[in-house]
Amino acid sequence: MTDLLYFVLSAYGMTQILVYASILNPVRPTKGKLGELFQCPMCLGFWVGVLLWVLNTQTELFNYDHSLFTGFFLGCLSSGTSYALNMLFGDCGLKIEHKILGGNKDVLNHIDE
């Protein structure tokens, strides 16, 4: 179970760095399909999970077999958890959104705590 926790946290951390770290701005792709990939924590999270699966023999944090099904499922796990954690946590802590229904418009108020 700790292997899974280490994998999820590693994938989330790497995805956050690749998508949001300002130090990578000069080299991060911004145009085309690759630019779209590097703006989406869910999309990039999948490929980070696949990369971690490929490299898992190089670390003692987690160890998974090298079947393609395992790689696919770990990519999916990484994608989902990276997206969920990204939606839950921001630079200032927990992200909380309040939806206010008003007439014909729905307004979202974003509050970072």
**Overall number of domains in the chain:** 1
Q: What is the pLDDT of residue 2?
A: 87
22 is in which domain, residue-wise?
2-112
How many angstroms separate the CA atoms of 109 and 88, rounded?
15
φ, ψ of residue 21 to 5 degrees: the values are -65, 120
The whole model's pTM is what?
Answer: 0.79
Whole-number pLDDT of residue 41: 92
**Mind listing the pLDDT tens digit for each residue in 14-71?**
999 999 999 999 999 989 999 999 999 999 999 999 999 999 989 888 889 999 999 9
Question: Does residue 113 surpass a pLDDT of 50?
Answer: no
Residue 93 · residue 112 · CB < 8 Å: yes
Identify whether the C-beta of residue 64 lies closer than 8 Å to the C-beta of residue 56. yes
